[in-house]
Amino acid sequence: MTRVLHEDASVLAVDKPAGVLVVRGRMGEAEPSLLDQLARERREALRLVHRLDRGTSGVLLLARSPAAQREMSLAFERGRVHKRYLALVRGEPPVPELTVDVALVAARRGKSRPAAKGEEGKPSVTTFRLVERFHGFALLEALPQTGRTHQIRVHLRYAGYPLAVDGAYAGVERILRGELGLAPAGDVLLGRTPLHAQRLTLPHPDTGEPLTVEAPLPADLEVALGLLRGLR
């Protein structure tokens, strides 16, 4: 069963596990999506408000009525939703805070890329703050001010601190224990994009009052961070 983080008459917030599709894509993947699973378990029609990538874990909001979906979607469109992600990256940023203001354009296979000089892209801004530094890695807080496809992942790559695992944007599919000098060297320490939607705040669709939902760090990231701390 998927962990419920918040539930009321209009809003359902769940803790999305890594590796699960939020909704079936255009190709109609055979595997069930999280939306399918929740609708089956709860026996109700749930409506998508936003998405998280397959590899991303954390807070996912769903609407329980068309009116709630409309109000929450408008909040996203108008920039009234505040999101905090945690990202494990390669490299050690020398400054405590970095803002990347780089427009993005659509790329092949559903990806995004920075707009080239003279190319019109969608304005995209992300602020990154250093949370913890390790040897060769860092844990960053990511605060996206806009909501473009793969924005955090592309901005991290642009800044020179890609996600520690990101096959699409960094060419790295996994971290093996041997990479950290740990045994058994061939065992996978982390095999998904280490990006976690930790907190989300938006106006409640019924009252307009701020609603904040938080998701705890998942076990795989806790283990990885614990091992990295032990190597400092």
List pLDDT tens digits, range 104-163. 999 998 999 999 998 999 999 999 999 999 999 999 999 999 999 999 999 999 999 999
Residue 63 burial (10 A CB sphere; 0-12, 13-18, 19+)? buried
Amino acid at 164: A
**CA-to-CA distance for 173 and 134, rounded, in angstroms?**
20
Tens of pLDDT, residue by residue over 65-77, are 999 999 999 999 9
Rg of the chain's alpha carbons, rounded to an integer?
18
- Give me the pLDDT at residue 29, please: 56
Beta bridge partners of 211: 202
Q: Is the per-residue pLDDT at 28 higher than 60?
A: no
**CA-to-CA distance for 132 and 129, rounded, in angstroms?**
9
Amino acid at 203: P
Domains of the chain, residue spans: 4-230
177 phi, psi to nearest 5 deg: -60, -35
- 15, 36, 53, 206: the active-site residue: 53
- Give me the pLDDT at residue 1, please: 82
Q: Which CATH architecture has domain 4-230?
A: 2-Layer Sandwich (3.30)
**CA-to-CA distance for 119 and 105, rounded, in angstroms?**
9
Whether 53 sits among the annotated catalytic residues: the reply is yes
Q: Return the beta strands (E) in 49-144 as ranges.
A: 57-63, 82-90, 97-101, 104-106, 112-114, 125-133, 137-144
**CA-to-CA distance for 172 and 192, rounded, in angstroms?**
10
Residues constituting the chain: 232
